[in-house]
Amino acid sequence: MEFNSSIVEKAVDALASFPGVGKRTALRMVMYLLKRPGNEVAGLADALLKLKTELQLCTMCGNVSDAPLCSICSNARRNTASICVVEDFSDQMAVEGTGQFQGVYHILGGLIAPIDGVGPDQLSIANLVQRVSDGGVTEVILAFSATVEGDTTMFYIAKKLRDFPVKISCIARGIAIGGELEYADEITLGRSIMNRTEYRV
Amino acid sequence: MEFNSSIVEKAVDALASFPGVGKRTALRMVMYLLKRPGNEVAGLADALLKLKTELQLCTMCGNVSDAPLCSICSNARRNTASICVVEDFSDQMAVEGTGQFQGVYHILGGLIAPIDGVGPDQLSIANLVQRVSDGGVTEVILAFSATVEGDTTMFYIAKKLRDFPVKISCIARGIAIGGELEYADEITLGRSIMNRTEYRV
């Protein structure tokens, strides 16, 4: 691509650094911005800047937050005895979106992935162990993706918490709701048979 | 989506305003930015801001430019007798990318589209007529998309320039290079037969 303007080129390059955004998509984004009023573009730039300058991490759970303590950790109606451990804040939002969990969260900031050079020390695991050892916690729910990294992290945390008087559980793996048995992979189907639950009418 | 932070929410909303970017993609973008160093995010914000504060339109052709006259219009080696008229600067980049055109450009800023409320007055057509009537122009090449809007704009401009001593041409429509005849639509194939070119060996 040959640009007629270095300003356009820099904006395209900056937008193309987003994962999944190529130069063509970035160019389309720039064309869109050129047609928008100045204050809207300024608002976008400001919103992105604030992610780095104003956003905080909750001192309790590590979630993104506007205040030192996030809105969930500071909510007196949440059950602090139950901690749901997730990889990052988008997973926290997914769990929260189900409306099935009334406890609090703990955000690890990633999963153990030796291939990517991510070890337990880079994650917020020590903080989790501290929260449990501080007492008052009765259950820790491990809600990770069903990947090698998720399983490794699950194993590591379960081992770390083994000696505490706390129930450790992991979210159910199985056939997705609406999923057809015929098309389910063998491992998922195998796990769903192994972990079958009693069905009462 | 329920956000734990209004700062994250605002950034997601701002990014989701891009065409083709939904809330989920925007959330993934925000997560990406959170992991990047602060100066990189500042650079992105700055690059977007400059689109509105520093970018100029070339006073001659209407293209995006860093200076009052764009790099093509100010290039003495370009043939100013030949003007290629395009919809916007991404089309100009596409034509320039072919390396087949040594003339100058004229950017309309859109196509005539009555359904979207875009009439000839909102486009840079008067400027084009002025450039032609100023003299020195021998050919005007109309390079628009093969859509109803493109055809309408082509017809309108050709009529406006009819009385000037200038050759008006439009880019060839036909079977794309590498395209299979069998799968070409009837209209394209019909046009490619109608506009057949002599083949000499």
Task: Return the pLDDT at A109.
Answer: 92
Maximum Cα–Cα distance for chain A, whole Å?
71
Determine the pLDDT at residue B184. 85
Inform me whether the pLDDT recorded for A163 exceeds 80.
yes
- Residue A14's SS3 state is helix
In which band, very low, low, confident or very high, does the pLDDT at A118 lie, cut at 50, 70 and 90? Answer: very high
Strand order in the sheet with A79-86: A103-107, A79-86, A139-142, A167-170
Tell me the C-alpha distance between B91 and B142, whole Å: 12
Contact A27, A11 (CB under 8 A): no
Note which residues in 53-92 of chain A have CB less than 8 A from chain B: 53-55, 58, 63-66, 70-72, 88-90, 92
Q: How far apart are CA B181 and CA B183, in angstroms?
A: 5
Q: Which of residues 86-125 of B touch A (CB under 8 A)?
A: 88-90, 92-93, 96-97
Check CB contact of A49 with chain B, cutoff 8 Å: yes
Check residue A164 and give its pLDDT.
Answer: 94
DSSP 8-class letter at A118: B
For residue B31, give the nearest of A3, A40, A88 by CB distance: A88
The CATH code of the domain at A64-198 is: 3.40.1360.10
Residues A7, B92: C-beta atoms closer than 8 Å: no
ipTM exceeding cut-off 0.85 for this assembly: no
Given a cut of 90, whether residue A60 has pLDDT beyond it is: yes
pLDDT in tens, chain B (201 residues): 778 889 999 999 999 999 889 999 999 999 999 989 999 999 999 999 999 999 999 999 999 999 999 999 999 999 999 999 999 988 999 999 888 999 999 999 999 999 999 999 999 999 999 999 998 999 999 999 989 999 999 999 999 999 999 999 999 888 888 888 888 888 888 888 888 888 877
What CATH superfamily classification does B6-53 receive? RecR Domain 1 (1.10.8.420)
A159 touches chain B (CB under 8 A): no
Give residue-wise pLDDT tens across range B65-102.
999 999 999 999 999 999 999 999 889 999 998 889 99
Strands B56-57 and B64-65, bridge-based pairing: antiparallel
DSSP helix/strand/coil, A72: coil
pLDDT in the model for residue B181: 84
State the Rg of chain B over Cα: 22
Rounded to the nearest angstrom, the minimum Cα separation between A131 and chain B is 20
Q: In which residue are the tokens 């988008």 written?
A: A90
In 3D, which of A62, A104, A61, A56 has the Cα closest to residue A79?
A: A104
Q: What is the pLDDT of residue A113?
A: 94
Q: Which of A19, A43, A49 sits opposite B41 (nearest CB)?
A: A49
CA-based end-to-end distance of chain B: 65
The residue of chain B nearest to residue A37, with distances taken between CA atoms, is B52
A31 to chain B, any CB pair closer than 8 A? The answer is: yes
**Chain A nearest-CA residue for B70:** A4
Query: Residue A172 belongs to what H/E stretch?
Result: none
CB contact under 8 A, B52 and A71: no
Q: Do domains B6-53 and B64-198 have the same CATH topology?
A: no
Q: What is the pLDDT of residue A193?
A: 86
Nearest chain A CA: its distance from B43 CA (Å): 8
The residue with greater pLDDT, B165 or A201, is: B165
Tell me the chain B residues in contact with residue A30 when contact means C-beta distances shorter than 8 Å: 51
User: Closest approach of chain B CAs to the CA of A151, in angstroms?
Assistant: 22
For chain A, the domains span 6-53, 64-198
Do A31 and B5 lie within an 8 Å CB cutoff? no
Query: What digits encode the pLDDT tens for the residues A121-152?
Result: 999 999 999 999 998 999 999 999 989 999 99
Q: What are phi and psi of B176, to 5 degrees?
A: -65, 150
pLDDT recorded at residue A16 = 94
Across the range A175-185, mean pLDDT stands at 85
Helix/strand/coil (H/E/C) assignment for every residue in chain B: CCCCCHHHHHHHHHHCCCCCCCHHHHHHHHHHHHHCCHHHHHHHHHHHHHHHHCCEECCCCCCEECCCCCCCCCCCCCEEEEEEEECCHHHHHHHHHHCCCCEEEEECCCCCEHHHCECHHHCCHHHHHHHHHCCCCCEEEECCCCCHHHHHHHHHHHHHCCCCCCEEEECCCCCCCCCCHHHCCHHHHHHHHHCCCCCCC
User: What is the model's pLDDT at position B65?
Assistant: 92
Question: Would the CA dihedral through A147, A151, A152, A154 be positive or negative?
Answer: positive
pLDDT of residue B85: 96
pTM assigned to the model: 0.78
A19 contacts in chain B (CB < 8 Å): 28-29, 32
> How many C-beta atoms surround the C-beta of residue A61 within 10 A?
26
- At B80 the pLDDT is 94
Q: A44 and B48: CB-CB below 8 Å?
A: yes
